[in-house]
Structure formats: C-alpha cells, structure tokens
C-alpha cells in the first residue's frame, strides 16, 4: 500500500527526490528506499550506525520529519552536491580583483546547488574616486549586473537555477538606485533584493528626522529618513521588492554576536549568515502529530514532538560531517559553528485540526507555544549532543548566554548550556517548504495559511489523453474522510480571506522562538491602499519581526491565483479547476508525465541567421507536431559551419528540443533566450538592438511560434493569454509555471512556487 496520500506527492518524489541512475532507471524503488538511503547516509558517522539508522528511518517515516530537498535528494547518492541549502559569501572587497574572486566563488557554490547571499554595501558608490587609475567608480549595481549574468549561465545541481540575495545598507549612498532597480523588468532577474534597515533608521523614520548616506566616513547625501522609507515602500508596493531586513535586531539576537557580524541572508531570508556562513534546513511536519483531529480533545502530541525533534537535531548535526562544500572556507565555517535550521511545516493545517482559526489571538498563542516546545527540545537535544560529542568549537559559555536569544530561554535550558555546552550554535529556522509540503501530502507550507483547499491538476498522458487529479489540502482531506460532505467550519480560513495584519501576528508569534529568521510572505490585496501597505511593515517592526516580505498582485508582479470563497465552502463540491494555456492548446494547461514519441514525419521551417562579424551563417530549423488538431513546437536543430559554435549549438539543440517535447507553456524558452546578453556587445538587426546570438535565436523561435499560432504576437511569450480561461477562481489567475505550464504559480514564503509540480523560482 502506498505511503503517499495524493498522486501529486508521489509525482514530486519521483521527479525531485527519487534516486535514479544516469539513464533514468529508478534506484529507489519505493519511498521507503529513499528514507532508508537518507537514514543510512546520516548514521555512518555514529558509533552505533545500525541503531541510529533505524531511529532516523522512524523519524522520516510517514513524512514526520522532512529534511530539506537537497538532503532528501542528495544524501547517500555519492554525487558531488552539497547538502546545505544556504550560503552567504565572503565580504566583497572594494577592489576589482577581490570583486571578481567573489564572482568565481559564487559560481562554484551555485554549481553545486547552493543558494547564496551577498552584501553589496562594501563596494564604493557610483562616481566615487578610484585612486591610481584616474577614474570614477561604477558602483555596486554595475557589479550586481555581472553577478546576474553569471547566475543565468549556471544550472545548479538538480536542474535548478541558482538563486541569489543581494542586500544593501540603508545608509549606502547608492541605496536609492538599489531600491528602484527592479523597476526595470529586465534587470537583476536572478536576484532577490533586501534593504538592511538599522534601528537608528527606524527611529529617524518615526521621528521624521534626517538621514545621512555615508561611505568610508564620507557623507555623500542627506535626506529625510521618511522620504527614503517611502521610496522603499513604493518600490515594494509596485514591484514586490526590495524586502526589508531589520539587521540590528538580527545581530542583537544572534547567539554568536560575540564572534560574527551578519550583513546578508540566503535568498529566501530565513537564514541570516556571516561571511562564508552555511546552514542546512529541515522541518517538523506538525500536521502529522495531531491526535484526534477535529474532535473536542484534538491536540498535538508534545511527547512525540519532543522525541522527534531530538532525533531530527541529531540527524541534521550529522549532515555537517556528511556534506560536501563548494569552498573550503564554507566547510571551516560550518564545522566551527555547526549551525542548523530546524523548522516546521503544516502549521496552518495543524491549527485547523485542533479547531483554531489562523490569524486569531488564540492561533497565535498556540503557534508560539508549539514553537517554544520545539525550541526547548532543540536546545536540550543539542546540549545532550555536546555531552556526547563536544560543543561547537567556538563556544564561549558566558558570551553565548549573554546573547539576546539566550536571555529569553528558560532557566533549565540556560543551566544545561552552561554546564555541558551546546553542539550547534543556532538551531531553529522557518524555511520555504513549498515542494516538500507537496511531497508530504499537500500539507500547508511552513507557517503560511492554507492557500487553497483544493484544485484540479491536469496531466497529459503519452496517448494524448488528459487526466484530472484533484489536489486537496491535507487537513481538508482528513475532514472529508471523517465527515464526508459536511460543510467546513467557519474557522477554515485561507490566504484569500486573511487580512495582512493576521499574517504579521503569526510571523511575530513564531519569531519569538526562532533563533534565525522566518521565510514568510504577507499576502496583500491588490486594492490595499499605500498607507495601509506601509502600516504592514511598521506592524512587523513594532511586533519584533526580523524582516518583512509582502506580495501585492498587480499588472507588474502578476496576479497570483486567487480562489473565490464560495467555491471552497463545501468540500463535497467539485474542486476549483485551473485551466488555461496558449491559444494553440485550446485553453487547457498541458503537463506531461513523459515526453511524446516522435512521429515519422514533421512539418517545419528553416531560418537563416547571419550574425555581424561572423564568417558563417547559423541555420535554425523548427519542427512542429499536431496535438489535438493544434500545431506546437516539437524539436529544434541549430547548425553552423563555424566549429567554434559546435558545442553550444548542439547543447542548445538538445536542451530546447527536450523542453519542447515535455509540453506545457514552453514560450518561456523565448523569453529566456531573448534576455541573454553578450558582454562583448550585441548587434543591430532589422532596426532593433539584439544583445547576443542567443537572443537572436530566441527572436527566430518567437517569430516561428507567432506564424504557427502558438503565440499571439511579439513580446507575448509569458504575457496574459486572451483565450485562456480560469474556471471558478474569481477574476485572477497565476502566471504560467515555466516547468509544467499550469497557471498555478503562487508567492509562498518569498518564492514563486508552482502548486502543481513543485517548481520554485528560488530553487
């Protein structure tokens, strides 16, 4: 009998976490094999590996403990990948050689699958004097453009693109340019941006005081703090970026404030880290620990929780020794502090199962109590590990206990740390869990509310037929199993109906017992006023949050899937259907479990591309397939007599053809190619500036897709499709997923995440 509670869960496991040979043959026959692989890999460092392998397996069984995706996919595979999720790179020196050394380190880290963060505040502002070369500095944003281009060329392990976070201090002279950078839709697309906001700045904002922009002791500009705050707010209101990180609050609370200073976070913001800092992640599935759900005595089994946390902490500590690291400096940093980030998922489902409404005072109090129990269990488990294996090398009892986080810990925890030390310097974090939550049976993600109670996922089979799979929230599924078509209680709320203040309340409640930070998106309605929007950030500051990320759907950010309340009122009704794709698909999203077979004959066209300064033309052939009476691209051939082009044209031929054969809204290929620029310069073609040969090929593909009716017109590669329809979902729909084509992309925990296939922009 399958352990998976939903078809999508098994699909996620098969696509992302199941170990397969190079030819695609599964080596993990069942999910139990995957659990056993992970348990065995993380027990080999133990003195009694057989004993701990079974205990680790028990923790993984039935999706109770969910190691982060890199651990689940990579542990025990012998592949050259890192099991760590988060890295902050070294401090960027303010000189050319140091900057490009940092670029190289970033490329090596992303190549092994790590998401990275950088503080660009250390680079002198645009226009500042560069001594010895009689020139002015180009400023940090110019180098961010270089990083952005590098990231585009790196496919990280597991076929994920690298994700990056860029931070800049609120007193840097180029901060206004940093704030407005995302107003250019083509710029810094591989970066998340966040402003490092200090306590002094927030005090100046509240007092309507002046604010100096300073670098290396020189004041470049003075402005009103409230004006700068409003610019941050306006940019995130319009473009969903930059985020806000309360950096002084982070450093004050940090257990390691005595030996490190933090100036950056990983891409999703839940891990503030020092230079070369690394952290691995895992989550306790709270929804699996609720006993007697929906009954009067429903409760979370805290004894089971404590035992599960202790086992999970030990497993994660072992990952520090089992993982590879892209850089030796990262390995030394991880070994010196043994930082881990244990968090939760399924919180909203667990609250529903005990009869509490997400966002209420009662739910916030319960969230705080559960997170405190996890924090206590984590710290006590780590002190026990210290007794057995030793404290982390940089442990200093007096300095550690004097930190902001430890001062709030219970006396028995502080006493245990003082007596025995502690194995892991930091232990808790709330990470993005979009994909692993689907893998665990579509439990609610992280500490986010339930997004939608159910939706229909369409899957295209090899024979061209379509099947529909209902994807139901875990708590709703349990309700149906218990009560059939009985109407959902009034405390069943979702992200569509919650006020932003309810999100802030839950984040603040969780933050009290999380020693790192929290990845959370505060969903705001499109029609929220600017003043009310600004108040969300002030509430986050006033309530003790370490940062704030919002998402307001609009014409620029895209309309994330919204679900009308009346379609979710009764679980017995047909779930909301998500439909819509390219005009050529007749209004249905196509997601293919396997690629289509190639017919004997295909219709197509060949295009000649003559790039300036090149001795040989490039020929691009696009062949199409008829699917359900509609024409769509099936394969591409790119040829040139210029042998310097041979390797990349063959690679491009294979990659694009593989994408086309998977189906779905493949028009994102056009956008990706057209956005590639050549640092040596592009060319004018047909009265337009084309930034690279690859961009020119993208233009050819676009014109072909227009000619065959696959696209409506130039520039509409990923734009709204006038013929697509969304049924029973109000007036809005999400943008198409670049991986599977379904219109089910959602902003969750700071990441654009697809609920149908688990694809995440943040990796």
Which pLDDT score is estimated for 613?
62
Question: Residues 153-182: pLDDT tens digits?
Answer: 764 333 445 579 999 999 999 999 999 998
Q: CA–CA distance from 394 to each of 50, 272, 375 (Å)?
A: 31, 18, 21
* pLDDT band, residue 717 (cuts 50/70/90): very low
Q: What is the mean pLDDT of residues 216-235?
A: 97
Residue 130 near residue 179, CB atoms below 8 Å: no
Which pLDDT score is estimated for 297?
96
Is the pLDDT score of 387 beyond 60?
yes
Q: How far apart are CA 371 and CA 343, in angstroms?
A: 9
Question: Residues 56-69: pLDDT tens digits?
Answer: 999 999 999 999 99
Least confident of 144-148, 499-503, 720-724: 720-724
Question: Percent of the chain at pLDDT above 90?
Answer: 60
Of 166, 245, 265, nearest in space to 201 by CA: 245
Is the pLDDT score of 595 beyond 70?
no
Is the pLDDT score of 16 beyond 80?
yes
Which pLDDT score is estimated for 457?
75
Which pLDDT score is estimated for 287?
97
Which pLDDT score is estimated for 731?
35
**SS3 call for 680:** coil
Which pLDDT score is estimated for 42?
96
* pLDDT band, residue 680 (cuts 50/70/90): low
Q: How far apart are CA 124 and CA 8, in angstroms?
A: 49
- Catalytic residues, by residue number, are 266, 268, 270
Which pLDDT score is estimated for 627?
74
Of 367, 375, 185, 343, nearest in space to 268 by CA: 343
How many Å is the maximal CA-CA distance in the chain?
Answer: 79
Q: What is the mean pLDDT of residues 274-290?
A: 96
Which pLDDT score is estimated for 692?
86
H-run or E-run covering 153: helix 140-153
Say if strands 164-169 and 191-197 run parallel, antiparallel, or are unpaired.
Answer: parallel
* pLDDT band, residue 599 (cuts 50/70/90): confident
Which pLDDT score is estimated for 661?
84
* pLDDT band, residue 579 (cuts 50/70/90): very low
* pLDDT band, residue 17 (cuts 50/70/90): very high
Q: What is the mean pLDDT of residues 740-761?
A: 71
- Mind spelling out the 3-state secondary structure of 319-356? HHHHCECCCHHHHHHHHHHCCEEEEEECHHHHHHHCCC
């Amino acid at each position: 009998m399958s352990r998976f509670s939903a078809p999508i869960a098994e699909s996620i496991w098969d696509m992302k976490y199941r170990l397969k040979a190079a030819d695609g043959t599964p080596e993990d026959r069942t999910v139990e094999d995957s659990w056993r692989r992970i348990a065995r890999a993380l027990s080999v460092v133990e003195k009694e590996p057989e004993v701990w392998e079974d205990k680790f397996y028990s923790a993984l069984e039935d999706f109770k403990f969910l190691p982060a995706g890199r651990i689940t996919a990579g542990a025990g595979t012998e592949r050259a990948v890192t099991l760590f999720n988060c890295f902050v790179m070294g401090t960027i020196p303010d000189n050319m050689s140091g900057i490009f050394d940092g670029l190289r380190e970033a490329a090596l880290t992303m190549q092994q699958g790590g998401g990275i963060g950088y503080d660009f505040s250390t680079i002198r502002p645009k226009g500042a004097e560069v001594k010895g070369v009689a020139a002015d500095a180009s400023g940090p944003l110019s180098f961010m453009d270089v990083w952005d281009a590098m990231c585009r060329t790196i496919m990280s392990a597991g076929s994920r693109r690298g994700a990056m976070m860029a931070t800049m201090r609120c007193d840097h002279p180029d901060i206004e340019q940093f704030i407005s950078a995302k107003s250019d839709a083509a710029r810094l697309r591989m970066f998340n941006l966040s402003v490092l906001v200090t306590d002094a700045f927030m005090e100046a904002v509240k007092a309507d005081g002046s604010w100096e922009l300073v670098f290396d002791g020189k004041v470049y500009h003075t402005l009103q703090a409230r004006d700068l705050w409003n610019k941050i707010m306006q940019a995130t209101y319009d473009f969903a970026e930059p985020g806000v990180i309360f950096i002084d609050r982070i450093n004050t609370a940090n257990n390691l404030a005595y030996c490190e200073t933090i100036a950056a976070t990983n891409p999703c913001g839940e891990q503030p880290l020092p230079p070369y800092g690394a952290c691995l992640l895992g989550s306790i599935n709270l929804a699996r620990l609720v006993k007697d759900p929906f009954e009067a005595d429903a409760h979370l089994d805290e004894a089971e929780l404590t035992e599960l946390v202790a086992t999970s902490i030990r497993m994660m500590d072992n990952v520090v020794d089992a993982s590879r690291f892209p850089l030796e400096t990262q390995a030394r940093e991880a070994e010196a502090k043994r930082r881990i980030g244990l968090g939760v998922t399924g919180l909203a489902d667990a609250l529903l199962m005990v009869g509490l409404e997400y966002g209420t005072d009662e739910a916030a109090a319960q969230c705080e109590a559960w997170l405190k129990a996890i924090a206590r269990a984590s710290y006590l488990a780590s002190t026990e590990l210290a007794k057995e294996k030793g404290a982390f090398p940089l442990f200093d009892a007096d300095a550690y206990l004097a930190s902001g986080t430890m001062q709030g810990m219970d006396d028995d925890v502080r006493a245990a740390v003082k007596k025995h030390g502690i194995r892991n310097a930091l232990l808790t974090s709330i990470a993005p869990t979009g994909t692993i939550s689907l893998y665990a049976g579509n439990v609610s993600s992280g500490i986010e509310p339930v997004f939608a109670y159910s939706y229909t996922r369409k899957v295209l089979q090899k024979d061209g037929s379509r099947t529909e799979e209902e994807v139901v929230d875990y708590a709703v599924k349990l309700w149906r199993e218990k009560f059939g078509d009985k109407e959902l209680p009034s405390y069943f709320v979702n992200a569509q109906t919650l006020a932003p203040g309810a999100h802030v309340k839950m984040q603040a409640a969780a933050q009290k017992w999380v020693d790192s930070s929290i990845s959370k998106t505060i969903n705001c309605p499109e029609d929220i006023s600017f003043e009310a929007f600004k108040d969300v950030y002030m509430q986050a500051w006033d309530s003790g949050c370490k940062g704030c990320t919002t998402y307001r759907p609009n014409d620029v950010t895209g309309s994330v899937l919204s679900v009308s309340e009346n379609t979710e009122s009764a679980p017995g009704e047909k779930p909301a259907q998500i439909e819509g794709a390219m005009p050529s698909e007749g209004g249905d999203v196509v997601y293919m479990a396997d690629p289509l077979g190639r017919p004997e004959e295909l219709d197509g066209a060949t295009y000649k591309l003559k790039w300036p300064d090149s001795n040989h033309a490039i020929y691009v052939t696009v062949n199409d397939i008829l699917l359900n009476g509609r024409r769509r691209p099936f394969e591409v051939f790119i040829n040139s007599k210029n042998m310097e082009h041979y390797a990349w044209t063959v690679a491009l031929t294979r990659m694009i053809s593989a994408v086309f054969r998977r189906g779905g809204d493949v028009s994102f290929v056009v956008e990706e190619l057209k956005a590639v620029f050549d640092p040596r310069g592009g060319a004018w073609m047909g009265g337009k500036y084309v930034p690279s040969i690859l961009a020119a090929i993208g233009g050819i593909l676009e014109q072909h897709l227009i000619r065959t009716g696959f696209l409506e017109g130039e520039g509409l590669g990923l734009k709204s499709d006038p013929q697509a329809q969304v049924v029973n979902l109000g007036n809005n729909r999400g943008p198409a997923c670049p991986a599977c084509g379904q219109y089910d992309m959602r902003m969750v925990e700071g990441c654009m995440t697809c609920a149908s296939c688990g694809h995440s922009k943040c990796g």
